[in-house]
Amino acid sequence: MNKMQKALHELSEMDELAARQSPIHSLHPAAKLITTIVYILITLSFDKYDLSGLVPMVLWPVIMFQVSGVDVHTCFYKLRIVLPLVMAVGLFNPFFDKEIMVTIGGVGISGGVISMITLMLKGVFCLMMSFLLMATTKIDSLCAALRKLHVPAMLVSLLQLTYRYVGVMTEELAVMTEAYSLRAPGQKGIHVSAWGSFLGQLLLRSMDRAQELFSSMMLRGYHEHFHYADIRPFNIKDALFMGLCIAFFFLLRYADIAQLIGGLFVR
Amino acid sequence: MIEFQNVSFAYEKKEYVLHDMSFRIEKGESVGLIGANGAGKSTIMKLLLGLLQGEGKILIDGIEVKKDTLGEIRAKLGFVLQNSDNQMFMPTVYEDMIFGPLNYGLSREVVDQRVDEVLKRLDLEYLKHRYNHKISGGEKRMGAIATILAMEPQAILMDEPTSALDPFNRRLVINTIRELDQTKLIASHDLDMILDTCDRVILISGGRIAADGPAKEILSNKDLLEANRMELPLSMMGKK
């Protein structure tokens, strides 16, 4: 299995994760979507130096992992490409912001270091929650929920087709890289001189396939409405979940949980 | 049921790939569409489905294929694509099967009943909740046929339904096609399969009808086939 085939397999695994059964999986997709958006907004709203306030926000993803049965390792494994990029945000802060803000054991920690860690954690938490949403909700259900929230059909179609298109493009890429490697033994990756034609071919081939796939959808009555998503009515359980989650997020945001817990041990 | 009246089509201006083509397929007929690569078989399929627009008139069950009748036309026609990967785009076989009927406004109960009936008929119950990326090529082809049958179309169009299948799966697909009672139009280079499944054959050459008649008659005519870059089906070789 080459790298691209592995990527394709991983992509398919997301559908399998989303099809599992758990209390989180069974929730209405709109409840999960709104909760995730609120979580992300609240996480991003923390001040760049408010590290102690931000850290308790990890509690929610931890609870979600436990209840949904999604493996934390799977999350970090699948996010391994994006995580370094997120971690790189704020990497230069320690060089620009050198003012010492905290001293631990005689070692001064600058505002730059704190803001760097805060930014990294914000990114990681948001990615974890986005992953959890995708791992517990089928893409079609998510799209159906977006339509219920009156997101324009055109945008929802775009999201759904992009999701499908990524798979198509990865499949084509897998075939092309395999064909390339068979005629370039011992060569690692695609040689820079072939990048242009390779990308051009990839685009043309995947566009052809995407067109055929879209035709297949159209021929089976697709008209930008997600009748096929198995989405049940929003019930009291979903409302309760959403309300409690949002209340919990606000509690984490406005009550200094870290200080409260710390106060139990330190006088 | 299907009628082509003086249909011409060009992808590029003035370079016609179909020339003034006319034929008629009656309800319940099983017709094989054969011809060399580039003869125009796929173009005929796409014109029938309204994926391309040409000159002339195409009628399906008396309704002309045009922009504002496409919904009605496509509900009557089921199209099995050559590449089943493009047909099976949902995560599981079941989700693919309910996609079309739900889009046409049927209730979940009716659709579920249809799905179970079709899977039972094709002996594919075990495939129902399987992931499309985890089933074999043969199973995917059968799944693709099942998705189309779940729509209960009046006519089924198939583009190379037996390509890239092993002998066992090929035979399975052929037997399934033979048992379908809908009108069938099958484009293929697999002439043995056409002989097994079709009563009538339309031979296309250079965008024109080179021959139209009983399958056995056309598929045993060595000179006609060779003149159109084809050859006798294996089962016909050695027979007079």
- Whether residue A148 lies within 8 A of chain B, CB to CB, comes out as no
Contact B103 A15 (CB under 8 A): no
Residues 205-264 of A with CB under 8 A from B: 209, 212-213, 215-223, 225, 227-228
The two structure tokens encoding residue A96: 């620009």
A27-82 pLDDT tens trace: 999 999 999 999 999 999 999 888 888 999 999 999 999 999 999 999 998 888 88
| CB contacts, 8 Å: B71 with chain A | 221
Q: Calculate how close chain B gets to A167, using CA atoms only, in Å.
A: 10
B5-34 pLDDT tens trace: 999 999 877 789 999 999 999 999 999 999
For chain B, the farthest-separated pair of C-alpha atoms sits apart, in whole angstroms, at 54
A247 pLDDT tier (thresholds 50, 70, 90): very high
Q: How far is CA A7 from CA A14, A170, B163, B199, in A?
A: 11, 7, 27, 46
Nearest-Cα residue of chain B relative to residue A214: B86
The two structure tokens encoding residue B240: 């007079």
Model pLDDT, residue A96: 85
Contact B131 A15 (CB under 8 A): yes
What gap in Å lies between CA A88 and CA B222, rounded to an integer? Answer: 70
Long-range contacts of B12-17 (CB under 8 A, 24+ apart): B16/B207, B17/B43, B17/B207
Contact A212 B81 (CB under 8 A): yes
Model pLDDT, residue A13: 83
- Helix residue ranges per DSSP H, B18-161: 41-48, 70-76, 84-87, 93-103, 108-121, 137-149
Model pLDDT, residue A26: 93
Contact B92 A219 (CB under 8 A): no
Model pLDDT, residue B146: 94
- Among A228, A230, A231, A232, most B C-beta atoms within 10 A, so best to mutate, is A228
Classify A230 as helix, strand or coil.
coil
Kindly report the average pLDDT of chain B as a whole number: 92
Choose between B89 and A39: higher pLDDT.
A39
List, in sequence order, every beta strand (DSSP E) within chain B: 2-12, 15-25, 30-35, 55-60, 63-64, 77-80, 155-159, 183-187, 200-205, 208-214
Contact A216 B89 (CB under 8 A): yes
- Whether residue A184 lies within 8 A of chain B, CB to CB, comes out as no
The two structure tokens encoding residue A31: 């409840």
Tell me whether residue A150 is exposed, middle or buried, using C-beta atoms within 10 angstroms of its C-beta: 0 to 12, 13 to 18, 19 or more: exposed
Contact B85 A171 (CB under 8 A): yes
B36-69 pLDDT tens trace: 998 999 999 999 999 999 999 999 999 999 989 9
Nearest-Cα residue of chain A relative to residue B85: A213
B75-99 average pLDDT score: 90
A89 pLDDT tier (thresholds 50, 70, 90): confident
Q: Which amino acid is at B235?
A: S
Contact A227 B74 (CB under 8 A): no
Kindly report the average pLDDT of chain A as a whole number: 87
Contact A213 B86 (CB under 8 A): yes
The two structure tokens encoding residue A212: 């055929």
What gap in Å lies between CA A116 and CA A96, rounded to an integer? Answer: 11
Model pLDDT, residue A228: 59
- Among A13, A139, A206, A216, most B C-beta atoms within 10 A, so best to mutate, is A216
Nearest-Cα residue of chain A relative to residue B152: A220
Contact A138 B91 (CB under 8 A): yes
- Whether residue B85 lies within 8 A of chain A, CB to CB, comes out as yes
B113-134 average pLDDT score: 92
- Cβ–Cβ < 8 Å for B155, B45: no
A214-219 average pLDDT score: 89
Q: What is the DSSP string of A53-117?
A: HHGGGGHHHHHHHHHH---HHHHHHHTTTHHHHHHHTTTTHHHH---EEEEETTEEEEHHHHHHH
- For the cut 80, the answer to whether the pLDDT of residue A7 exceeds it is no
A148 pLDDT tier (thresholds 50, 70, 90): confident
Model pLDDT, residue B119: 95
Model pLDDT, residue B195: 95
Model pLDDT, residue A186: 79
What gap in Å lies between CA B9 and CA B51, rounded to an integer? Answer: 12
What gap in Å lies between CA B174 and CA B196, rounded to an integer? Answer: 7
B127 pLDDT tier (thresholds 50, 70, 90): very high
The two structure tokens encoding residue B37: 């690569």
| CB contacts, 8 Å: A171 with chain B | 85
- Cβ–Cβ < 8 Å for B179, B204: no
- Whether residue B109 lies within 8 A of chain A, CB to CB, comes out as no
A vs B, Cβ pairs < 8 A, gives: 65
| CB contacts, 8 Å: A209 with chain B | 83, 86
Model pLDDT, residue B212: 96
A1 pLDDT tier (thresholds 50, 70, 90): low
Residues 48-107 of A with CB under 8 A from B: none
Classify B172 as helix, strand or coil.
helix
Q: Residues with Cβ < 8 Å from A231, sequence gap 6 or more?
A: A28, A29, A141, A144, A145, A148
- Is the whole-model pTM more than 0.90? no
Classify A36 as helix, strand or coil.
helix
Contact A15 B91 (CB under 8 A): yes
Quickly tell me which residue has 């011409």 as its tokens.
B8
Q: Calculate how close chain A gets to B98, using CA atoms only, in Å.
A: 7
B127-140 average pLDDT score: 90
- Cβ–Cβ < 8 Å for B104, B128: no
Nearest by Cα to B183 from B213, B158, B146, B156 = B156
A94 pLDDT tier (thresholds 50, 70, 90): confident
B195-225 pLDDT tens trace: 999 999 999 999 999 999 999 999 999 999 9
The two structure tokens encoding residue B226: 């060779």
Model pLDDT, residue A267: 61
- For the cut 80, the answer to whether the pLDDT of residue A259 exceeds it is no
Element (H, E) at A143: helix A139-148
- For the cut 80, the answer to whether the pLDDT of residue A133 exceeds it is yes
- Cβ–Cβ < 8 Å for B181, B152: no
Burial B106-144 (b: 16+ CB within 10 A, else e): beeeebeebbeebbeebebeebeebbbbebeebbbbbbb
